[in-house]
Amino acid sequence: MIQPIRLSQLTTNIAETLNNAFRRLSFWVVADVTSHTFRQEKNYHSFDLVEKDTASNALIAKIQAKAWGRGATSVASFENITGQRFTNNINVLVNVTVEYHPVFGLQLNVNEVDSNFTLGQLEQQRQATLVRLVRENPGFIWQTPGGFDTKNKQLALPGVIQHIAVIASRTSAGWQDFHHTLGNNPFGYTFRIDEYFTVVQGENNTQQFLSRLIDVFNSGNNYDAVVIIRGGGAQTDFLIFDDYMIGKAIAKFPIPIITGIGHQKNETIADLMAHTPTKTPTKAAEFIINQNRSFEDSVIRLRQNIVIRAQQQFADNNRALNRVNNSIINKSRTILAGRQQELVSTRTSLLIHSNNYCKNQKRYLDHFVSIIKIASPENTLRRGFAIIRHNDKIISNPDDLTIGNDIGIVLADKEITATVTAKNDYNGTDFHL
Protein backbone atom coordinates (compact mmCIF):
# COMPACT_ATOMS: atom_id res chain seq x y z
CA MET A 1 0.00 0.00 0.00
CA ILE A 2 1.27 3.45 -0.95
CA GLN A 3 1.96 5.63 2.01
CA PRO A 4 -0.11 8.90 1.66
CA ILE A 5 1.37 12.32 2.34
CA ARG A 6 -0.19 15.44 3.67
CA LEU A 7 -1.38 18.11 1.20
CA SER A 8 0.97 20.62 2.74
CA GLN A 9 3.84 18.27 1.99
CA LEU A 10 2.76 18.13 -1.65
CA THR A 11 2.36 21.89 -1.97
CA THR A 12 5.68 22.39 -0.27
CA ASN A 13 7.34 20.01 -2.75
CA ILE A 14 5.67 21.85 -5.63
CA ALA A 15 6.80 25.20 -4.23
CA GLU A 16 10.35 23.99 -3.80
CA THR A 17 10.42 22.50 -7.30
CA LEU A 18 8.99 25.61 -8.96
CA ASN A 19 11.06 28.00 -6.92
CA ASN A 20 14.20 26.05 -7.77
CA ALA A 21 13.24 26.04 -11.47
CA PHE A 22 12.18 29.72 -11.79
CA ARG A 23 14.23 31.41 -9.07
CA ARG A 24 15.91 34.61 -10.32
CA LEU A 25 14.12 34.26 -13.69
CA SER A 26 11.70 36.82 -15.16
CA PHE A 27 9.75 36.76 -18.39
CA TRP A 28 8.21 39.36 -20.72
CA VAL A 29 4.71 38.13 -21.48
CA VAL A 30 2.03 39.44 -23.87
CA ALA A 31 -1.49 38.81 -22.61
CA ASP A 32 -4.95 40.27 -22.07
CA VAL A 33 -6.13 41.47 -18.66
CA THR A 34 -9.39 40.08 -17.21
CA SER A 35 -11.07 39.83 -13.78
CA HIS A 36 -9.19 42.89 -12.56
CA THR A 37 -9.69 44.26 -9.04
CA PHE A 38 -7.78 46.95 -7.23
CA ARG A 39 -7.55 47.41 -3.48
CA GLN A 40 -6.60 51.05 -3.14
CA GLU A 41 -5.93 50.92 0.60
CA LYS A 42 -3.28 48.24 0.00
CA ASN A 43 -2.23 49.46 -3.48
CA TYR A 44 -2.76 45.89 -4.66
CA HIS A 45 -3.92 44.72 -8.12
CA SER A 46 -5.36 41.26 -8.65
CA PHE A 47 -6.26 39.95 -12.12
CA ASP A 48 -5.98 37.13 -14.64
CA LEU A 49 -3.71 37.11 -17.67
CA VAL A 50 -5.26 35.25 -20.59
CA GLU A 51 -4.47 34.42 -24.21
CA LYS A 52 -7.07 33.65 -26.85
CA ASP A 53 -6.80 32.04 -30.25
CA THR A 54 -6.82 34.80 -32.87
CA ALA A 55 -8.99 32.77 -35.24
CA SER A 56 -11.58 31.24 -32.92
CA ASN A 57 -11.25 33.58 -29.93
CA ALA A 58 -11.09 30.43 -27.77
CA LEU A 59 -9.20 30.61 -24.47
CA ILE A 60 -5.84 28.82 -24.77
CA ALA A 61 -4.03 30.03 -21.64
CA LYS A 62 -4.95 31.56 -18.28
CA ILE A 63 -3.09 32.29 -15.04
CA GLN A 64 -3.65 34.44 -11.99
CA ALA A 65 -1.45 37.49 -11.53
CA LYS A 66 -0.89 40.25 -9.03
CA ALA A 67 0.87 43.61 -8.90
CA TRP A 68 1.96 45.19 -5.64
CA GLY A 69 4.94 47.16 -4.44
CA ARG A 70 7.21 47.65 -7.47
CA GLY A 71 4.55 46.20 -9.77
CA ALA A 72 1.81 48.56 -8.48
CA THR A 73 4.16 51.52 -8.99
CA SER A 74 4.73 50.40 -12.59
CA VAL A 75 0.96 50.11 -13.14
CA ALA A 76 0.51 53.71 -11.92
CA SER A 77 3.28 54.85 -14.27
CA PHE A 78 1.60 52.98 -17.15
CA GLU A 79 -1.70 54.76 -16.51
CA ASN A 80 -0.01 58.16 -16.33
CA ILE A 81 1.97 57.69 -19.55
CA THR A 82 -0.71 56.10 -21.71
CA GLY A 83 -3.75 57.81 -20.23
CA GLN A 84 -5.16 54.27 -20.14
CA ARG A 85 -6.56 52.74 -16.98
CA PHE A 86 -5.11 49.34 -16.14
CA THR A 87 -8.32 47.35 -16.35
CA ASN A 88 -10.10 44.57 -18.17
CA ASN A 89 -9.83 43.90 -21.91
CA ILE A 90 -6.52 45.59 -22.54
CA ASN A 91 -3.59 43.89 -24.20
CA VAL A 92 -0.35 44.42 -22.29
CA LEU A 93 3.32 43.48 -22.27
CA VAL A 94 4.35 42.72 -18.68
CA ASN A 95 7.49 41.50 -16.97
CA VAL A 96 6.62 38.69 -14.54
CA THR A 97 8.18 36.19 -12.17
CA VAL A 98 6.65 32.79 -11.35
CA GLU A 99 5.54 32.19 -7.80
CA TYR A 100 3.79 29.35 -6.07
CA HIS A 101 2.11 29.66 -2.68
CA PRO A 102 0.79 26.65 -0.79
CA VAL A 103 -2.50 28.45 -0.12
CA PHE A 104 -2.95 30.77 -3.12
CA GLY A 105 -1.44 28.44 -5.68
CA LEU A 106 0.43 29.30 -8.85
CA GLN A 107 0.62 33.03 -9.63
CA LEU A 108 2.57 35.48 -11.71
CA ASN A 109 3.98 38.49 -9.91
CA VAL A 110 4.01 41.56 -12.20
CA ASN A 111 7.21 43.55 -11.87
CA GLU A 112 6.79 46.03 -14.76
CA VAL A 113 4.23 47.07 -17.39
CA ASP A 114 5.60 48.25 -20.76
CA SER A 115 3.77 51.49 -21.62
CA ASN A 116 5.33 51.74 -25.08
CA PHE A 117 3.88 48.39 -26.10
CA THR A 118 0.31 49.52 -25.41
CA LEU A 119 0.86 52.91 -27.01
CA GLY A 120 2.39 51.24 -30.03
CA GLN A 121 -0.52 48.86 -30.41
CA LEU A 122 -3.04 51.68 -30.28
CA GLU A 123 -1.03 53.71 -32.78
CA GLN A 124 -0.65 50.74 -35.12
CA GLN A 125 -4.41 50.20 -35.05
CA ARG A 126 -4.94 53.91 -35.66
CA GLN A 127 -2.53 54.03 -38.62
CA ALA A 128 -4.10 50.92 -40.14
CA THR A 129 -7.53 52.56 -39.90
CA LEU A 130 -6.24 55.72 -41.61
CA VAL A 131 -4.72 53.68 -44.44
CA ARG A 132 -8.00 51.84 -44.89
CA LEU A 133 -10.01 55.09 -44.92
CA VAL A 134 -7.86 56.54 -47.71
CA ARG A 135 -7.77 53.29 -49.69
CA GLU A 136 -11.49 52.50 -49.53
CA ASN A 137 -12.91 56.04 -49.86
CA PRO A 138 -11.04 57.82 -52.68
CA GLY A 139 -14.09 59.94 -53.48
CA PHE A 140 -14.04 61.94 -50.25
CA ILE A 141 -10.84 61.16 -48.29
CA TRP A 142 -7.38 62.05 -49.62
CA GLN A 143 -3.94 61.93 -48.01
CA THR A 144 -1.93 65.13 -48.46
CA PRO A 145 1.63 66.14 -47.56
CA GLY A 146 0.24 67.94 -44.52
CA GLY A 147 -2.13 65.18 -43.38
CA PHE A 148 -5.58 64.42 -44.74
CA ASP A 149 -8.19 66.23 -46.79
CA THR A 150 -11.87 65.31 -46.80
CA LYS A 151 -15.14 66.38 -48.34
CA ASN A 152 -16.14 67.80 -44.95
CA LYS A 153 -12.97 69.92 -44.78
CA GLN A 154 -13.75 71.38 -48.20
CA LEU A 155 -17.16 72.69 -47.12
CA ALA A 156 -17.42 76.44 -46.64
CA LEU A 157 -17.90 77.33 -42.99
CA PRO A 158 -20.54 80.09 -42.63
CA GLY A 159 -19.23 83.49 -41.63
CA VAL A 160 -21.76 83.52 -38.80
CA ILE A 161 -22.45 80.28 -36.89
CA GLN A 162 -25.77 80.43 -35.05
CA HIS A 163 -27.76 77.20 -35.57
CA ILE A 164 -25.70 74.32 -34.13
CA ALA A 165 -26.25 70.58 -33.71
CA VAL A 166 -24.28 69.18 -30.77
CA ILE A 167 -23.46 65.49 -30.33
CA ALA A 168 -22.40 64.90 -26.73
CA SER A 169 -23.06 62.94 -23.57
CA ARG A 170 -25.99 64.26 -21.57
CA THR A 171 -23.94 64.13 -18.34
CA SER A 172 -20.66 65.29 -19.83
CA ALA A 173 -18.88 68.15 -18.09
CA GLY A 174 -17.48 69.02 -21.51
CA TRP A 175 -21.02 69.65 -22.78
CA GLN A 176 -21.66 71.96 -19.82
CA ASP A 177 -18.38 73.82 -20.49
CA PHE A 178 -19.30 74.25 -24.16
CA HIS A 179 -22.81 75.49 -23.40
CA HIS A 180 -21.57 77.87 -20.67
CA THR A 181 -18.84 79.35 -22.87
CA LEU A 182 -21.25 80.04 -25.74
CA GLY A 183 -23.97 81.42 -23.48
CA ASN A 184 -21.62 83.79 -21.64
CA ASN A 185 -19.66 85.15 -24.57
CA PRO A 186 -18.59 88.79 -24.07
CA PHE A 187 -20.11 89.97 -27.37
CA GLY A 188 -23.73 89.09 -26.64
CA TYR A 189 -24.02 86.59 -29.52
CA THR A 190 -27.02 84.27 -29.31
CA PHE A 191 -27.14 80.69 -30.54
CA ARG A 192 -29.77 78.07 -31.29
CA ILE A 193 -28.43 74.73 -30.08
CA ASP A 194 -30.07 71.36 -30.77
CA GLU A 195 -28.80 68.51 -28.57
CA TYR A 196 -28.25 64.99 -29.90
CA PHE A 197 -27.18 63.13 -26.78
CA THR A 198 -25.37 59.78 -26.97
CA VAL A 199 -22.56 57.79 -25.35
CA VAL A 200 -19.22 59.16 -26.51
CA GLN A 201 -16.84 56.47 -25.28
CA GLY A 202 -16.45 52.75 -25.69
CA GLU A 203 -15.93 50.95 -28.98
CA ASN A 204 -19.20 49.04 -28.46
CA ASN A 205 -21.18 52.33 -28.71
CA THR A 206 -20.09 53.13 -32.26
CA GLN A 207 -23.47 52.34 -33.80
CA GLN A 208 -25.31 54.52 -31.29
CA PHE A 209 -22.99 57.42 -32.10
CA LEU A 210 -23.50 56.91 -35.84
CA SER A 211 -27.27 56.86 -35.34
CA ARG A 212 -27.17 60.28 -33.75
CA LEU A 213 -25.10 61.61 -36.66
CA ILE A 214 -27.73 60.18 -39.02
CA ASP A 215 -30.44 61.87 -36.93
CA VAL A 216 -28.73 65.21 -37.53
CA PHE A 217 -28.71 64.57 -41.27
CA ASN A 218 -32.33 63.43 -41.35
CA SER A 219 -33.58 66.35 -39.22
CA GLY A 220 -33.86 68.57 -42.29
CA ASN A 221 -32.50 71.49 -40.29
CA ASN A 222 -30.14 73.83 -42.08
CA TYR A 223 -27.43 73.70 -39.43
CA ASP A 224 -24.45 76.01 -39.73
CA ALA A 225 -22.22 73.42 -38.07
CA VAL A 226 -22.22 70.14 -36.15
CA VAL A 227 -20.13 70.04 -32.96
CA ILE A 228 -18.90 66.75 -31.49
CA ILE A 229 -18.01 67.11 -27.81
CA ARG A 230 -16.32 64.93 -25.22
CA GLY A 231 -14.45 65.83 -22.06
CA GLY A 232 -11.09 64.46 -20.96
CA GLY A 233 -10.32 60.87 -20.01
CA ALA A 234 -8.03 57.92 -20.53
CA GLN A 235 -6.63 57.29 -23.98
CA THR A 236 -8.77 54.20 -24.49
CA ASP A 237 -11.85 56.30 -23.69
CA PHE A 238 -11.25 57.98 -27.04
CA LEU A 239 -11.00 54.78 -29.09
CA ILE A 240 -14.56 55.34 -30.37
CA PHE A 241 -13.24 58.39 -32.22
CA ASP A 242 -10.62 56.22 -33.96
CA ASP A 243 -13.33 53.97 -35.34
CA TYR A 244 -13.35 53.41 -39.09
CA MET A 245 -17.10 53.92 -39.59
CA ILE A 246 -17.20 57.11 -37.53
CA GLY A 247 -14.20 58.52 -39.39
CA LYS A 248 -15.84 57.68 -42.73
CA ALA A 249 -19.17 59.25 -41.73
CA ILE A 250 -17.48 62.48 -40.56
CA ALA A 251 -15.34 62.74 -43.72
CA LYS A 252 -18.37 62.66 -46.06
CA PHE A 253 -20.85 64.53 -43.84
CA PRO A 254 -22.47 67.46 -45.77
CA ILE A 255 -22.39 69.92 -42.84
CA PRO A 256 -19.10 71.31 -41.43
CA ILE A 257 -18.12 69.35 -38.31
CA ILE A 258 -16.19 70.93 -35.43
CA THR A 259 -14.64 68.56 -32.87
CA GLY A 260 -13.91 69.40 -29.25
CA ILE A 261 -13.05 65.92 -28.00
CA GLY A 262 -10.84 66.94 -25.11
CA HIS A 263 -7.79 64.92 -26.04
CA GLN A 264 -4.77 67.09 -25.34
CA LYS A 265 -2.00 64.70 -26.46
CA ASN A 266 -2.93 63.38 -29.91
CA GLU A 267 -5.48 63.92 -32.64
CA THR A 268 -8.11 61.25 -33.09
CA ILE A 269 -9.17 60.02 -36.51
CA ALA A 270 -12.39 61.99 -36.03
CA ASP A 271 -10.29 65.15 -35.63
CA LEU A 272 -8.36 64.35 -38.81
CA MET A 273 -11.55 63.82 -40.84
CA ALA A 274 -13.51 66.80 -39.47
CA HIS A 275 -13.68 70.32 -40.91
CA THR A 276 -12.19 72.00 -37.82
CA PRO A 277 -10.60 70.10 -34.90
CA THR A 278 -10.15 71.78 -31.52
CA LYS A 279 -8.62 70.36 -28.35
CA THR A 280 -11.48 70.77 -25.86
CA PRO A 281 -15.21 71.60 -25.73
CA THR A 282 -14.33 75.06 -24.43
CA LYS A 283 -11.94 75.59 -27.36
CA ALA A 284 -14.71 74.54 -29.76
CA ALA A 285 -17.04 77.17 -28.27
CA GLU A 286 -14.28 79.79 -28.41
CA PHE A 287 -13.64 78.94 -32.07
CA ILE A 288 -17.32 79.54 -32.90
CA ILE A 289 -17.34 82.82 -30.98
CA ASN A 290 -14.13 83.93 -32.74
CA GLN A 291 -15.62 82.95 -36.11
CA ASN A 292 -18.60 85.21 -35.48
CA ARG A 293 -16.37 87.95 -34.08
CA SER A 294 -14.20 87.82 -37.21
CA PHE A 295 -17.30 88.28 -39.34
CA GLU A 296 -18.46 91.20 -37.19
CA ASP A 297 -14.98 92.75 -37.39
CA SER A 298 -15.05 92.41 -41.18
CA VAL A 299 -18.46 94.11 -41.29
CA ILE A 300 -17.16 96.89 -39.01
CA ARG A 301 -14.09 97.31 -41.22
CA LEU A 302 -16.31 97.35 -44.30
CA ARG A 303 -18.53 99.99 -42.70
CA GLN A 304 -15.47 102.05 -41.76
CA ASN A 305 -14.10 101.68 -45.28
CA ILE A 306 -17.46 102.76 -46.71
CA VAL A 307 -17.54 105.81 -44.39
CA ILE A 308 -13.93 106.70 -45.22
CA ARG A 309 -14.51 106.16 -48.95
CA ALA A 310 -17.72 108.19 -48.81
CA GLN A 311 -15.93 110.99 -46.97
CA GLN A 312 -13.15 110.88 -49.55
CA GLN A 313 -15.74 110.89 -52.32
CA PHE A 314 -17.58 113.80 -50.74
CA ALA A 315 -14.29 115.67 -50.31
CA ASP A 316 -13.29 114.96 -53.92
CA ASN A 317 -16.72 115.99 -55.18
CA ASN A 318 -16.66 119.09 -52.98
CA ARG A 319 -13.28 120.07 -54.39
CA ALA A 320 -14.57 119.40 -57.89
CA LEU A 321 -17.67 121.51 -57.17
CA ASN A 322 -15.48 124.29 -55.81
CA ARG A 323 -13.37 124.14 -58.96
CA VAL A 324 -16.50 124.23 -61.09
CA ASN A 325 -17.92 127.08 -58.98
CA ASN A 326 -14.69 129.09 -59.25
CA SER A 327 -14.55 128.37 -62.96
CA ILE A 328 -18.17 129.51 -63.37
CA ILE A 329 -17.50 132.67 -61.35
CA ASN A 330 -14.35 133.46 -63.30
CA LYS A 331 -15.94 132.71 -66.63
CA SER A 332 -19.05 134.62 -65.63
CA ARG A 333 -16.93 137.58 -64.70
CA THR A 334 -15.09 137.32 -67.99
CA ILE A 335 -18.33 136.98 -69.91
CA LEU A 336 -19.97 139.83 -67.95
CA ALA A 337 -16.97 142.01 -68.51
CA GLY A 338 -17.09 141.22 -72.22
CA ARG A 339 -20.85 141.73 -72.32
CA GLN A 340 -20.47 145.00 -70.41
CA GLN A 341 -17.99 146.25 -72.96
CA GLU A 342 -20.37 145.15 -75.70
CA LEU A 343 -23.22 146.98 -73.92
CA VAL A 344 -21.11 150.14 -73.58
CA SER A 345 -20.18 149.85 -77.23
CA THR A 346 -23.79 149.17 -78.16
CA ARG A 347 -24.96 152.08 -76.00
CA THR A 348 -22.40 154.37 -77.62
CA SER A 349 -23.43 153.12 -81.02
CA LEU A 350 -27.12 153.58 -80.15
CA LEU A 351 -26.47 157.07 -78.93
CA ILE A 352 -24.61 157.94 -82.11
CA HIS A 353 -27.19 156.32 -84.33
CA SER A 354 -30.10 157.80 -82.37
CA ASN A 355 -28.52 161.28 -82.56
CA ASN A 356 -27.96 160.86 -86.25
CA TYR A 357 -31.45 159.49 -86.68
CA CYS A 358 -32.94 162.34 -84.69
CA LYS A 359 -30.96 164.88 -86.74
CA ASN A 360 -32.11 163.26 -89.97
CA GLN A 361 -35.68 163.13 -88.77
CA LYS A 362 -35.44 166.75 -87.70
CA ARG A 363 -34.28 167.66 -91.19
CA TYR A 364 -37.21 165.69 -92.60
CA LEU A 365 -39.53 167.44 -90.24
CA ASP A 366 -38.08 170.82 -91.08
CA HIS A 367 -38.53 170.00 -94.76
CA PHE A 368 -42.15 169.05 -94.18
CA VAL A 369 -42.65 172.13 -92.02
CA SER A 370 -41.31 174.22 -94.88
CA ILE A 371 -43.62 172.48 -97.31
CA ILE A 372 -46.52 172.83 -94.91
CA LYS A 373 -45.71 176.48 -94.44
CA ILE A 374 -45.51 176.96 -98.16
CA ALA A 375 -48.79 175.15 -98.65
CA SER A 376 -50.47 176.86 -95.71
CA PRO A 377 -53.59 179.01 -96.44
CA GLU A 378 -51.83 182.16 -95.32
CA ASN A 379 -48.99 181.71 -97.85
CA THR A 380 -51.44 180.56 -100.50
CA LEU A 381 -53.58 183.64 -99.94
CA ARG A 382 -50.49 185.88 -100.08
CA ARG A 383 -49.69 184.47 -103.49
CA GLY A 384 -53.02 185.92 -104.72
CA PHE A 385 -55.33 183.04 -104.19
CA ALA A 386 -58.72 183.42 -102.45
CA ILE A 387 -61.00 181.18 -100.43
CA ILE A 388 -64.71 181.26 -101.24
CA ARG A 389 -67.13 180.47 -98.42
CA HIS A 390 -70.87 180.07 -98.52
CA ASN A 391 -72.91 179.46 -95.43
CA ASP A 392 -69.64 179.14 -93.40
CA LYS A 393 -68.40 176.39 -95.69
CA ILE A 394 -65.43 176.55 -98.02
CA ILE A 395 -66.65 176.07 -101.56
CA SER A 396 -64.34 174.13 -103.84
CA ASN A 397 -66.99 173.06 -106.40
CA PRO A 398 -68.65 175.88 -108.38
CA ASP A 399 -71.68 173.72 -108.80
CA ASP A 400 -72.39 174.24 -105.09
CA LEU A 401 -73.20 177.91 -105.86
CA THR A 402 -76.13 179.34 -107.69
CA ILE A 403 -76.85 182.83 -109.02
CA GLY A 404 -77.83 185.09 -106.19
CA ASN A 405 -75.95 183.28 -103.47
CA ASP A 406 -74.11 185.47 -101.03
CA ILE A 407 -70.48 184.45 -100.73
CA GLY A 408 -67.44 185.54 -98.78
CA ILE A 409 -64.16 185.94 -100.62
CA VAL A 410 -61.23 185.56 -98.21
CA LEU A 411 -58.02 187.25 -99.33
CA ALA A 412 -54.62 187.48 -97.55
CA ASP A 413 -55.75 190.20 -95.17
CA LYS A 414 -59.36 190.94 -96.15
CA GLU A 415 -62.67 189.18 -96.61
CA ILE A 416 -65.02 190.52 -99.31
CA THR A 417 -68.72 189.88 -99.24
CA ALA A 418 -70.28 189.47 -102.69
CA THR A 419 -73.31 188.11 -104.51
CA VAL A 420 -73.05 185.66 -107.39
CA THR A 421 -74.41 187.35 -110.41
CA ALA A 422 -73.09 185.00 -113.04
CA LYS A 423 -71.25 181.68 -113.55
CA ASN A 424 -69.11 181.24 -116.65
CA ASP A 425 -66.95 178.32 -117.76
CA TYR A 426 -63.22 178.84 -117.55
CA ASN A 427 -60.59 176.85 -119.45
CA GLY A 428 -57.58 178.17 -117.45
CA THR A 429 -55.89 179.77 -120.44
CA ASP A 430 -57.18 183.32 -120.19
CA PHE A 431 -55.66 184.10 -116.83
CA HIS A 432 -53.09 186.86 -116.75
CA LEU A 433 -51.14 188.24 -113.85
Residue 213 or residue 335, greater confidence: 213
The pLDDT of residue 75 is above 90: yes
Contact of 139 with 152, CB cutoff 8 Å? no
Residue 305 CB coordination number (10 Å): 10
**Which range (70-74, 261-265, 299-303, 364-368) has the least confidence?**
261-265
What is the pLDDT, as a whole number, of residue 364?
82
Beta-bridge partner residues of 95: 28, 112
Ranges of each domain in the chain:
7-113, 137-294, 380-419
The predicted-structure confidence for 125-138, as pLDDT tens digits, reads as follows 888 999 999 999 99
For residue 140, pLDDT over 70 is answered with yes
Model pTM score: 0.58
pLDDT of residue 234: 53
How high is the mean pLDDT of the chain? 87
State what percent of residues in the chain have pLDDT above 70: 95
Does the domain made of 137-294 have the CATH classification 3.30.420.10? no
In this prediction, residues 154-178 reach a mean pLDDT of: 93
Interval 46-60: pLDDT, tens = 999 999 887 887 889
Domain spanning 7-113, CATH class: mainly beta
Tell me: pLDDT of 235 over 60.
Answer: no
Please write the tens of the pLDDT for every residue from 100-118.
888 888 899 999 999 888 7
